[in-house]
Structure 1
Amino acid sequence: MKILLPMLFIGTMMTAQVSNIVRHQDSYKDFPFEGVRIVQVDEVNSPDSEDNVFIFSKIEKGAKPDKMTFQRFTKIGGEWKVKAKKQIEHAGIISSWGQRKSFADYDKDKSIDALFIYSLNDYDFKQQSVHLIFSKNAEFYEISTSAESGYSKDVYSDNFKNLPENIKNEILEYWNKLDKE
């Protein structure tokens, strides 16, 4: 299953003609992100259509409370512009799950659809909750669940219901297969 799932996402990326460019994080040190340090960066493009850079950045190590900013940059007129931004603040530690992500163009609108996972933890690194953030155009949609509920009760952002059914189904399929513990 651990091998099959990544292969399915690679297959999805290839069918949707999405390219994911991997560079060292230092390549983005002059990029206009908000945090002090990059914890995750993904450059994802739709050929002949759209160039994107997704950056999770954080404040100084050890700062309390922890703060992470997620930004979606899109190249417009040769310049990188912030298309969407979300700040997360937590009295504990915020962890980006760098290997848990997916890129596609589910509705074939030539704009990248991307999903990422992060968790909120206490200062002893005991996980408190898991969150999925889905980026479509200039909007973010979210699903979360908590350790307190035994990861059995999902909470959706208010705008999640506005997504087309086929996209909701793709996201929920990913979410339901994710090992949240």
Structure 2
Amino acid sequence: MFAQISHVVRSKESYTQDVFAYQGVRAIQIDEANSEGNEDNVFIFSKIEKNANPDKMYFQRFTKVNSKWILKSSVEINHNGIISAWGSRKGFVDYDKDKSVDAFFIYALYDTNFREQSVHLIFSKKDQLYTIESKVSDDFKKDKFSDNFKSLDAVSKKELLEYWNKLDKIDK
């Protein structure tokens, strides 16, 4: 069987800040997803010091260009409480069949007592990031989209919304 996108898992220690200039002081989730013969990508969630309040997490996408890892997109997430990446909730796809890896990841915001406040999806497509969020306060009934979400291609939107609408957003 041949798959266009491959997902590589290595130890976090092999992804040093010398090679990947990620912003946080500690990497908490690293995923490598490659489009065979087309591009290599590394997605890194990193955070500031443990137990810092407010909490700060970074999401960064690096793509290999001419044997060097180049930062393609980045977002900083700040929250007065706790930010947690849901490592088991992610996907690596090529919805629009352009031979570039598209990837989505889920994270949530909690208060300082670890009560869930909201759930967020980050969708990485080339050098763009798109987001969806939903809050506990309205029982996850209203979704908020990033301003650029409306410019996303129809196939990607459809697939992401299907995933998002099926996602169990309650962290029990």
Q: Give me the TM-score of the superposition, normalised by structure 1.
A: 0.90
Alignment partner of 1:75 is 2:64: yes
**Which residue is equivalent to 1:32?**
21
Alignment RMSD (CA, Å): 1.1
1:107 aligns with 2:96: yes
Give the alignment partner of residue 9 of structure 2, picking from 19, 22, 25: 22
- Alpha-carbon separation, structure 2, partners of 1:77 and 1:96: 30
| Distance in 1, Cα, partners of 2:30 & 2:162 | 24
The equivalent position to 2:151 in structure 1, one of 153, 162, 178, is 162
Among 37, 49, 63, which residue is 1:48 paired with? Answer: 37
- The structure that is helix-richer by fraction is 1
Q: What letter matches 1:125 in structure 2?
A: F
Deviation above 3 Å: which 4+ runs of structure 1? none
Looking at structure 2, the residues matched to 166 and 86 of structure 1 have their Cα atoms a distance apart, in angstroms, of: 24
**Is the 1:16–1:105 Cα contact (8 Å) retained in structure 2?**
no
Structure-2 residue corresponding to 1:9: none
Residue 133 (structure 1) aligned to one of 118, 122, 125: 122
- CA distances 1:17-75 after superposition (whole Å, capped 9, x unpaired): 10000011111134321110011000000000000000000000011110000000000
1:116 deviates by 0.2
Q: How many residues align?
A: 168
Aligned 8 A contact 1:16 1:104 in 2 = no
CA distance in 1, matches of 2:45, 2:110: 17
Report the identity percentage.
Answer: 58
Quote the Cα distance in structure 2 between the aligned partners of 1:158 and 1:126: 28
Partner amino acid for 2:153? Answer: P
Give structure 1 stretches of 5+ with no counterpart.
1-13
